[in-house]
Amino acid sequence: MTDIIKLTAAEIAAKIASGELTAVEVTEAHLARIEAVDEKVHAFLHVDREGALAQARAVDEKRERGERLGPLAGVPLALKDIFTTEGVPTTVGSKILEGWIPPYDATVTRKLKAADVVILGKTNMDEFAMGSSTENSAYGPTGNPWDLTKIPGGSGGGSSAALAAFEAPLAIGTDTGGSIRQPAAVTGTVGVKPTYGAVSRYGMVAFSSSLDQGGPCARTVLDAALLHEVIAGHDPLDSTSIDVPVPPVVEAARNGSVAGMRVGVVKQFRGEGYQAGVIERFDESVALLKELGAEIVELDCPSFDLALSAYYLIAPSECSSNLARFDGLRYGLRTGDDGTRSAEEVTSLTREAGFGPEVKRRIMLGTYALSSGYYDAYYGSAQKVRTLITRDFEKAFEQVDVIVSPTTPTTAFAIGERADDPMAMYLADLCTIPTNLAGNAAMSLPCGLAPEDNLPVGLQIIAPAMQDDRLYKVGAAVEAAFVEKWGHPLLEEAPSL
DSSP 252-277: HHHT---TT-EEEEETTSSSTT--HH
Chain segment 138-183, per-residue pLDDT in tens? 999 999 999 999 999 999 999 999 999 999 999 999 999 999 999 9
pLDDT band at 491 (very low <50, low <70, confident <90, very high): low
Q: Which amino acid is at 419?
A: A
Answer yes or no: is pLDDT of 489 > 90. Answer: no
pLDDT band at 495 (very low <50, low <70, confident <90, very high): low
Domain hosting residue 172, numbered range? 1-260+486-493
- Taking the C-alpha atoms of residue 151 and residue 142, their distance in angstroms, rounded to an integer, is 7
Answer yes or no: is pLDDT of 1 > 90. Answer: no
Q: What does pTM read for this prediction?
A: 0.96
pLDDT > 70 in the chain, percent: 98
Answer yes or no: is pLDDT of 271 > 90. Answer: no
Q: Is there a domain that residue 131 lies in?
A: yes
189: left (phi over 0), alpha (psi -120 to 50) or beta: beta
Nearest to 44 by CA among 133, 140, 130, 147: 140
Which burial class, exposed, middle or buried, applies to 480 when counting CB atoms under 10 A from its CB (0-12, 13-18, 19+)? Answer: middle
Chain segment 47-76, per-residue pLDDT in tens? 999 999 999 999 999 999 999 999 999 999
User: Poorest-confidence range of 28-37, 206-215, 427-436, 488-497?
Assistant: 488-497
Provide the residue count of the chain: 497
CB proximity list for 385: less than 8 A, separation 6 or greater? 303, 306, 307, 309, 310
3-state SS of 198-226? CECCCCECCCCCCCCCEEEEECCHHHHHH
Q: Is there a domain that residue 335 lies in?
A: no
Q: Is there a domain that residue 158 lies in?
A: yes
**Residue 223 near residue 215 (C-beta atoms within 8 A):** no
Chain segment 232-250, per-residue pLDDT in tens? 999 999 999 999 999 999 9
pLDDT > 90 in the chain, percent: 90
Phi, psi (deg, nearest 5) at residue 266: -90, 125
Q: Is there a domain that residue 308 lies in?
A: no
Q: Is there a domain that residue 463 lies in?
A: no
What's the number of domains the chain is made of? 1
217 vs 490, more confident: 217
Answer yes or no: is pLDDT of 280 > 80. Answer: yes
Residue 486: predicted pLDDT = 76
Nearest to 171 by CA among 108, 79, 107: 79
199 vs 337, more confident: 199
Residue 53: predicted pLDDT = 98
Catalytic positions, written as ranges: 80, 155, 179
Chain segment 443-470, per-residue pLDDT in tens? 999 999 999 999 999 999 999 999 999 9
Cα–Cα separations (whole angstroms), residue 163 to 3, 113, 201: 15, 20, 23
pLDDT band at 30 (very low <50, low <70, confident <90, very high): very high
Nearest to 366 by CA among 425, 434, 314, 308: 314
**Average pLDDT for 367-396:** 93
Residue 282: predicted pLDDT = 97
**Average pLDDT for 469-486:** 93
- Parallel, antiparallel or unpaired: strands 190-193 and 118-123: unpaired
**Looking at beta carbons, which pairs linking 353-356 to residues 24 or more positions away fall under 8 Å?**
353/95, 354/94, 354/95, 354/96, 354/97, 354/326, 354/328, 355/94, 355/95, 355/96, 355/127, 355/323, 355/326, 356/94, 356/95, 356/127, 356/136, 356/138
Residue 492: predicted pLDDT = 60
Residue 211: predicted pLDDT = 97
- DSSP-based three-state secondary structure for 65: coil
**Residue 411 near residue 133 (C-beta atoms within 8 A):** no
- Taking the C-alpha atoms of residue 75 and residue 52, their distance in angstroms, rounded to an integer, is 10
Numbers of helices and strands, H then E, in the chain:
18, 11
Q: Is there a domain that residue 85 lies in?
A: yes
CA-based R_g, the chain, Å: 21
Answer yes or no: is pLDDT of 191 > 70. Answer: yes
Give first-to-last CA distance, the chain, whole Å: 15
Q: Is there a domain that residue 209 lies in?
A: yes
CATH classification of the domain holding 77: 3.90.1300.10
Helix 23-41 and helix 9-18, axial crossing angle in degrees, nearest 10:
150
- Taking the C-alpha atoms of residue 48 and residue 61, their distance in angstroms, rounded to an integer, is 20
Q: Is there a domain that residue 336 lies in?
A: no
